[in-house]
């Protein structure tokens, strides 16, 4: 299995484990995945023992948070060649403490440990609190550590004199705070860890499998084959490849490093400046996380918060993501038309037929995932079935019809799919043991042909890639739980939204602007999922109370949390792309802002117009959707200075007026109000006239 490009670029963050430590890391990773499969599918591997939900989550924390101390050095200058004694101690403590709580899961519920408990659990609660904070410092950085640390201690000083009345709450003593954080179901074991343990873990494994089996390269080749030869082709390839791959991988930076390694050089060869090529890739990779089906796993957290089916969230998110990618596409096409950038020569492009022949199984796994999510509504099980199918099919693709192993492996895959469908239709989840065992047996048999033989090192690399990502995510989500626990314990989560409404004076637009600024700031210091969860608790209720659509509000928060990936001073996605393009990061960041400018307006469009999230009558959805598409077209055309049927506008004074008029008309047309739509249409006519005048002025 080839190592993903993004993974290779990020390995410098991690300690290089060897010998027994490497085997221990792999063992813990496999143990955590096995326990998750056992719990999600109800297999009762352990001699019929049913693991309580709190014990299950404690086990995940013990297995994955402990790994953080093995792979993330304490300091940037710490040795990456060996595991120091203090990290061994922290590793052992994390395992022992979490194991203690897991073993006493039933007792803690029966005796109400979150309110009153023996001395030992309280002491261990302080220790686990500290271990989680140290783990999130290593995995997430100093900014996250400070934010999470302050908010986790918030219950202790919630009624202090220096706390504004709007942010105050019912204070708790330090012992009660520690007890609630670790032993209740609202803090460390709250929504973030529960969603991880029941939904997210499967999609993380599927994303790593997709990368490790070469899925990123397949989607890039497919995009090159389809649109690489059209005007501005390489940039359009970046949009399609990053959108498809990002919707499954769920990581902006990994998406940039994986697809950008091929698309950015191709864009530069076609004539795009380095900063423009990097900006396109950053915007496309950011949009991939906003596109169903996976959406960086935030869709499943959102469905849990709203208590609605995942499919409802995915359907609501589809059209806004389409608008975002459409706006990016129009800008790229306009830039290519204005600057005469052609597509790549046919000799440089892969064959569509050959690409599909060599990688059809990626599409099969993708459609299997969609089928299980949308039609069968098996959100928790779908990624595991798709992962096993992808692992088997990726080996099947290396054989030919003349090879006898081709038929053996094919029979195993057909049998596997039959068992998958039977297990789904007959609700017999335990039968996953049979297809997994069959797939593993076929995989072992298929090692005979040299061209599909997998080495032990490749298997270890695959397991370690999963372990690194899962350990990092568990540390961050457990720490996010501390924030939620603090807000719940003090009652601030229930009163803050009302205070926000009063501060905004009931003005929807003002409250949205406050929410956008807050989401952007938190998006700089937190991961997208962490920022979303926090704001879903403290901000979303205030917006919903003003009569806004609940799904649109939650998507609004998600979109503004993503803005930080292309907006300086942080702009992680843009800076990662700049490193590949060889351009200055800050310049790439500002270029990405301009290219992705639709993302700054789009959340306001759909939160004020629920028809854009498919909430309304069919005629209203069609009319508002068409108006929004037209508005986005005008905004993108104005920003790039090229309008269809008018041509390039140039840089003369009339052209600047035309471009400004197009942007203003687009904003007014996309805004959900008939008067503004009419004003937008009125502005469009003089903008087009100015555009034609600008062409006459600048023509030789």
Burial of 668-686, coded b for 16+ CB within 10 Å and e otherwise, reads: bbbbbeeeebebbeebbee
Instruction: Give the pLDDT of residue 430.
Output: 43
pLDDT classification of 422: cutoffs 50, 70, 90: low
- What does the alpha-carbon distance between residue 59 and residue 359 come to, in Å, rounded to a whole number? 37
Residue with tokens 């989500």: 477
Is 300 within the bounds of a domain? no
Is 31 within the bounds of a domain? yes
Domain boundary among 192, 227, 251: 192
Which residues, including other chains, have CB under 8 Å from residue 154's CB and lie 6 or more apart?
169, 486, 487, 490, 492
CB 364 within 8 A of CB 393: yes
Which residues, including other chains, have CB under 8 Å from residue 535's CB and lie 6 or more apart?
515, 518, 519, 522, 557, 561
Packing angle of the helix pair 508-525, 550-562 (nearest 10 deg): 40
84-88, 220-224, 241-245, 584-588: range with lowest mean pLDDT: 241-245
410-419, 437-446, 472-481: range with lowest mean pLDDT: 437-446
Is 177 within the bounds of a domain? yes
Beta bridge partners of residue 643, listed in sequence order: 647
Instruction: Give the pLDDT of residue 151.
Output: 86
Instruction: Give the pLDDT of residue 42.
Output: 78
CB 383 within 8 A of CB 40: no
Torsion 124-126-127-129 (CA) sign: positive
Is 567 within the bounds of a domain? no
Is the pLDDT assigned to residue 700 strictly greater than 90?
A: no
Is the pLDDT assigned to residue 653 strictly greater than 80?
A: no
Percent of the chain topping pLDDT 70: 84
Residue with tokens 């009345």: 165
Domain boundary among 150, 173, 192: 192
CB 475 within 8 A of CB 192: no
Torsion 121-124-130-133 (CA) sign: negative
Is 694 within the bounds of a domain? yes
Is the pLDDT assigned to residue 450 strictly greater than 50?
A: no
Is the pLDDT assigned to residue 696 strictly greater than 80?
A: no
Is the pLDDT assigned to residue 448 strictly greater than 50?
A: no
CB 220 within 8 A of CB 241: yes
What are the φ/ψ torsions at residue 647 (nearest 5 degrees)?
100, -165
Instruction: Give the pLDDT of residue 45.
Output: 64
Residue 426 class from Cβ within 10 Å (0-12 exposed, 13-18 middle, 19+ buried)? exposed
Which carries the bigger pLDDT value, residue 264 or residue 419?
264
How much of the chain is helix, strand and coil, in % rounded to 5? 75, 0, 20
Domain count, the chain: 2
pLDDT classification of 9: cutoffs 50, 70, 90: very low
Is the pLDDT assigned to residue 1 strictly greater than 50?
A: no
User: How large is the average pLDDT for residues 23-48?
Assistant: 84
- Specify the length of the chain in residues: 700
Is the pLDDT assigned to residue 319 strictly greater than 60?
A: yes
pLDDT digits (tens, 9 = 90+) for 506-561: 788 888 888 888 778 777 656 677 778 878 887 888 888 888 899 999 999 888 88
Is the pLDDT assigned to residue 416 strictly greater than 70?
A: no
Is the pLDDT assigned to residue 38 strictly greater than 80?
A: yes
pLDDT digits (tens, 9 = 90+) for 131-185: 999 999 998 888 778 888 888 998 988 887 777 777 777 888 999 999 999 999 8
Residue 77 class from Cβ within 10 Å (0-12 exposed, 13-18 middle, 19+ buried)? exposed
Is 188 within the bounds of a domain? yes
- Top-ranked range on mean pLDDT: pick from 117-131, 426-440, 446-460: 117-131
Instruction: Give the pLDDT of residue 96.
Output: 96
Which carries the bigger pLDDT value, residue 49 or residue 322?
322
What is the reported pTM? Answer: 0.81
Percent of the chain topping pLDDT 90: 19
Instruction: Give the pLDDT of residue 7.
Output: 43
The residue range of the domain holding 186 is 5-192
pLDDT classification of 6: cutoffs 50, 70, 90: very low
Residue with tokens 């082709």: 233
Which carries the bigger pLDDT value, residue 96 or residue 608?
96
Between β-strands 647-648 and 642-643, what pairing exists: parallel, antiparallel or unpaired?
Answer: antiparallel
CB 566 within 8 A of CB 574: yes
Instruction: Give the pLDDT of residue 646.
Output: 72
pLDDT digits (tens, 9 = 90+) for 284-307: 988 888 888 777 667 778 888 888
pLDDT classification of 4: cutoffs 50, 70, 90: very low
Is 89 within the bounds of a domain? yes
Is 486 within the bounds of a domain? no
pLDDT digits (tens, 9 = 90+) for 370-410: 888 877 778 888 888 888 888 877 766 666 666 666 666 66
Domain boundary among 192, 213, 234: 192
What mean pLDDT is reported for the chain? 81
Helix (H, G, I), strand (E, B) or coil at 642: strand
pLDDT digits (tens, 9 = 90+) for 612-649: 998 888 888 898 899 989 889 888 888 887 777 777 77
pLDDT classification of 98: cutoffs 50, 70, 90: very high
pLDDT classification of 441: cutoffs 50, 70, 90: low
- What does the alpha-carbon distance between residue 630 and residue 445 come to, in Å, rounded to a whole number? 56
């Amino acid at each position: 299995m080839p190592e993903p490009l993004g993974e290779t670029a990020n390995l410098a963050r991690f300690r290089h484990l060897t010998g027994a430590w490497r085997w221990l890391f792999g063992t813990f990773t496999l143990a955590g995945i096995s326990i998750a499969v056992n719990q999600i599918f109800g297999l009762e591997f352990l001699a019929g023992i049913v693991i309580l939900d709190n014990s299950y989550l404690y086990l995940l924390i013990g297995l994955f948070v402990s790994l953080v101390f093995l792979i993330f050095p304490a300091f940037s200058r710490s040795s990456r060649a060996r595991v120091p004694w203090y990290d061994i101690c922290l590793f052992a403590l994390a395992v022992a403490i979490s194991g203690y709580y897991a073993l006493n899961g039933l007792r803690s519920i029966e005796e109400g440990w979150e309110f009153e408990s023996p001395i030992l659990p309280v002491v261990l609660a302080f220790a686990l609190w500290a271990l989680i904070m140290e783990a999130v410092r290593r995995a997430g950085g100093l900014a996250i550590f400070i934010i999470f640390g302050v908010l986790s201690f918030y219950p202790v000083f919630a009624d202090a004199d220096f706390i504004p009345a709007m942010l105050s709450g019912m204070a708790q003593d330090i012992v009660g705070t520690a007890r609630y954080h670790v032993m209740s179901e609202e803090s460390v074991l709250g929504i973030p860890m529960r969603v991880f343990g029941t939904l997210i873990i499967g999609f993380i494994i599927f994303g790593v499998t997709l990368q490790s089996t070469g899925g990123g390269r397949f989607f890039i080749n497919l995009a090159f084959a389809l649109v690489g030869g059209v005007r501005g082709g390489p940039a359009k390839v970046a949009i399609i490849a990053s959108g498809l791959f990002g919707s499954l991988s769920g990581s902006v930076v990994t998406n940039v490093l994986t697809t950008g390694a091929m698309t950015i050089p191709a864009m530069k060869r076609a004539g795009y400046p380095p900063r423009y090529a990097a900006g396109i890739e950053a915007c496309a990779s950011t949009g991939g996380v906003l596109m169903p089906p996976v959406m960086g796993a935030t869709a499943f957290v959102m469905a849990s918060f709203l208590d609605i089916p995942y499919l409802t969230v995915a359907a609501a998110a589809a059209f806004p993501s389409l608008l975002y990618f459409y706006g990016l596409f129009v800008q790229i096409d306009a830039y290519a038309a204005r600057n005469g950038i052609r597509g790549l020569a046919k000799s440089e492009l892969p064959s569509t037929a050959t690409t599909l022949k060599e990688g059809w199984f990626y599409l099969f796994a993708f459609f299997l995932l969609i089928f299980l999510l949308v039609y069968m509504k098996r959100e928790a099980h779908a990624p595991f079935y798709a992962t096993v199918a992808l692992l088997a099919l990726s080996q099947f693709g290396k054989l030919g019809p003349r090879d006898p192993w081709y038929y053996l492996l094919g029979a195993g895959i057909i049998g596997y799919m039959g068992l998958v469908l039977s297990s789904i239709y007959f609700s017999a989840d335990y039968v996953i043991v049979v297809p997994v065992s069959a797939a593993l047996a076929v995989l072992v048999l298929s090692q005979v042909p040299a061209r599909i033989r997998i080495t032990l090192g490749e298997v270890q690399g695959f397991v370690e890639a999963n372990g690194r990502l899962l350990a990092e995510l568990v540390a961050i989500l457990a720490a996010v739980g501390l924030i939620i626990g603090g807000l719940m314990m003090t009652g601030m989560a229930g009163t803050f939204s009302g205070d926000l409404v009063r501060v905004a004076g009931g003005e929807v637009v003002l409250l949205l602007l406050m929410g956008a600024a807050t989401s952007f700031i938190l998006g700089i210091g937190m991961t997208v999922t962490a920022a979303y969860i926090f704001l879903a608790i403290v901000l979303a209720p205030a917006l919903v109370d003003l009569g806004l659509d609940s799904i649109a509000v939650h998507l609004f928060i998600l979109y503004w949390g993503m803005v930080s990936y292309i907006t300086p001073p942080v702009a992680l996605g843009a800076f990662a792309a700049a490193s590949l393009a060889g351009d200055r990061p800050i310049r790439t960041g500002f270029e990405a802002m301009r290219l992705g400018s639709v993302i700054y307006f789009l959340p306001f469009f759909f939160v004020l117009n629920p028809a854009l999230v498919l909430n309304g009558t069919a005629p209203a959805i069609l009319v508002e959707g068409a108006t929004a598409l037209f508005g986005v077209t005008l905004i993108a055309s104005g920003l790039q200075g090229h309008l269809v049927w008018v041509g390039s506008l140039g840089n003369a004074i009339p052209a600047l007026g035309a471009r400004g008029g197009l942007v203003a008309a687009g904003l007014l047309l996309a805004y959900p109000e008939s008067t503004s739509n009419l004003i937008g249409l009125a502005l469009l006519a003089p903008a087009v006239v100015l555009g034609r005048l600008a062409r006459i002025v600048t023509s030789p």
